[in-house]
C-alpha cells in the first residue's frame, strides 16, 4: 500500500493491542509507536521522562499528559514516522485533543481507529499469565500462547519477564483508569471522525482477530480510493485525508 497510514489501536490493557500491532505494522508498512514501550525504554535509560514516569507506571497510573504528549509529538515530527500506528496513545481526552490538533494542523488526520473489544473478566487471566521477551517485545502467555521452553524466548532462548504492572492488583487500577480516563477518547473520535472507527471483537482466536482487522482496514482504504480525491486540508471532520 502506497498511502500513508495514520492508525490508532485502542482497547483496555491486555486486549491484544501489542500482538495485533505487530501484524498491522508488518502488513501496512507503518512504524509502531507504543507509548508503553517508549516509556519503559526511558525508565530503563533513566532519562528525565523516565524518572518522571516510573512511579506512575509501577502503580498502573497514567503518566501525566504534559509528559507523554511531548514524547509522542516529538516522535510524530520525525519524517521516518509519517506512516504510524499509535498503540497506547491517546489515553485521555487531553491527549486526544492534542493529537487531533497537531495532525489536523499538519493536514494529516488519522485514517483509522481500531477498537479492540474484550470483556473485563477475560482480561485478568490474560494479564496475569502474560510473559514478555524484553529486547524484542515478543509476548507469550503461560496458558494461551506458551513458549516452547518455559520462561524462555522461542527465538533467542533468553529469559522472559513478567511486567511489574501485569498483576491482578495493578490491573484493577489500570482498568479503573481505562474506564474513567481512556473511554472518553473513543467517544471523542466517534464524534469527530465516526467513519474512522473499526470495531473489532477481540475475544476470538488471535488469527481470526487479525483477519477481521486486516479486512476492515483494507476496506477502509478501498472506500477511500473509490471516493472523491483527497483534499488534504486541516478539517475536524475529515475521515481520511
Ligand atoms: P502499556 O504498555 O501501553 O500498557 O503502558 C504501560 C504504562 O505506561 C501505563 O500503565 C501507563 O502508566 C504508561 N503509559 C503508556 N501510555 C500512556 C499514555 N498514553 N498516557 C499516560 N500513561 C501512559
The pLDDT tens digits for 205-216 are 989 999 999 999
CA–centroid distance, residue 35 to ligand 1 (Å): 6
Secondary structure E strands in 11-69: 31-34
Contacts with 233 (C-beta within 8 Å, 6 or more apart), sequence order = 107
Percentage of the chain lying above the pLDDT 90 cut: 72
d(CA 137, CA 19): 9
The pLDDT tens digits for 35-54 are 998 999 999 999 999 999 99
The pLDDT tens digits for 218-238 are 987 666 555 433 333 222 332
Active-site residue flag, 138: no
Cell 501485569 belongs to 166
pLDDT(111) > 60? yes
d(CA 82, CA 63): 25
Count Cα atoms within 13 angstroms, Cβ side, for 29. 4
Q: Average model confidence (pLDDT) for the chain?
A: 88
Active-site residue flag, 204: no
Say what the pLDDT of residue 138 is.
Answer: 86
Give strand pairing partners of 199.
Answer: 115
Say what the pLDDT of residue 223 is.
Answer: 66
Active-site residue flag, 6: no
CA–centroid distance, residue 89 to ligand 1 (Å): 8
d(CA 39, CA 44): 9
What would the mean pLDDT of 85-104 be, rounded to a whole number? 96
**CA nearest 174: which of 110, 130, 113?**
130
Choose the catalytic residue: 22, 54, 91, 126. Answer: 91
What would the mean pLDDT of 171-192 be, rounded to a whole number? 93
Choose which residue among 11, 57, 137 to substitute to test ligand 1 binding: the one with the highest number of ligand atoms within 8 A of its C-beta: 57
Say what the pLDDT of residue 222 is.
Answer: 63
Amino acid at each position: 500500500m502506497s498511502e500513508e497510514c495514520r492508525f490508532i489501536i485502542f482497547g483496555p490493557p491486555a486486549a491484544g493491542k501489542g500482538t495485533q500491532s505487530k501484524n498491522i505494522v508488518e502488513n501496512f508498512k507503518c512504524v509502531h509507536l507504543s507509548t508503553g514501550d517508549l516509556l519503559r525504554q526511558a525508565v530503563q535509560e533513566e532519562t528525565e521522562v523516565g524518572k518522571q514516569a516510573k512511579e506512575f507506571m509501577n502503580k498502573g497510573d497514567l503518566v501525566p499528559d504534559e509528559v507523554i504528549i511531548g514524547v509522542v509529538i516529538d516522535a510524530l515530527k520525525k519524517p521516518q514516522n509519517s506512516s504510524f500506528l499509535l498503540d497506547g496513545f491517546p489515553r485521555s481526552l487531553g491527549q486526544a485533543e492534542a493529537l487531533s490538533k497537531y495532525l489536523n494542523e499538519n493536514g494529516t488526520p488519522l485514517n483509522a481507529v481500531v477498537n479492540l473489544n474484550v470483556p473485563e473478566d477475560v482480561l485478568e487471566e490474560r494479564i496475569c499469565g502474560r510473559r514478555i521477551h524484553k529486547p524484542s517485545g515478543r509476548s507469550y502467555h503461560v496458558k494461551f500462547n506458551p513458549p516452547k521452553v518455559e520462561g524462555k524466548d522461542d527465538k533467542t532462548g533468553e529469559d522472559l519477564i513478567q511486567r511489574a504492572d501485569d498483576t491482578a492488583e495493578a490491573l484493577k487500577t489500570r482498568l479503573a483508569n481505562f474506564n474513567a480516563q481512556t473511554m472518553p477518547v473513543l467517544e471523542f473520535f466517534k464524534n469527530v471522525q465516526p467513519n474512522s472507527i473499526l470495531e473489532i471483537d477481540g475475544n476470538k482466536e488471535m488469527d481470526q482477530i487479525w483477519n477481521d482487522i486486516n479486512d476492515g482496514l483494507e476496506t477502509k482504504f478501498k472506500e477511500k480510493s473509490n471516493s472523491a480525491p483527497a483534499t488534504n486540508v486541516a478539517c475536524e471532520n475529515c475521515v481520511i485525508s
